[in-house]
Amino acid sequence: MRTRILFASVAIVSAVAVGAFRGGPAPSAFPEPAIDNPVVPGAAPESAVLAGGCFWGVQAVFQHVKGVVNATSGYAGGSEKNARYDIVSRGSSGHAESVRVVYDASQVSFGQLLRIFFAVAHDPTELNRQGPDEGTQYRSVIFYSGQRQREIADAYVEQLTGAKVYRHRIVTQIVPLEAFYPAEEYHQNYYTRHPYEPYIMINDRPKVDALKKFFASVYVAR
**Residues identified as active-site:** 54
Distance between CA 213 and CA 85 in Å, rounded?
Answer: 33
CB 60 within 8 A of CB 191: yes
Compute the C-alpha angle 75/79/81, nearest 5°: 95
Residue 53: Cβ within 10 Å count: 26
181 φ, ψ to 5°?
A: -120, 115
Distance between CA 119 and CA 98 in Å, rounded?
Answer: 17
What separation in angstroms does the CA of 5 have from each of 29, 31, 77, 183?
Answer: 31, 34, 28, 23
- CA-closest candidate to residue 30, choices 157, 150, 127: 157
Question: How, if at all, do strands 173-176 and 140-144 pair?
Answer: parallel
Alpha helices in 19-138 (DSSP H): 55-63, 85-88, 110-116
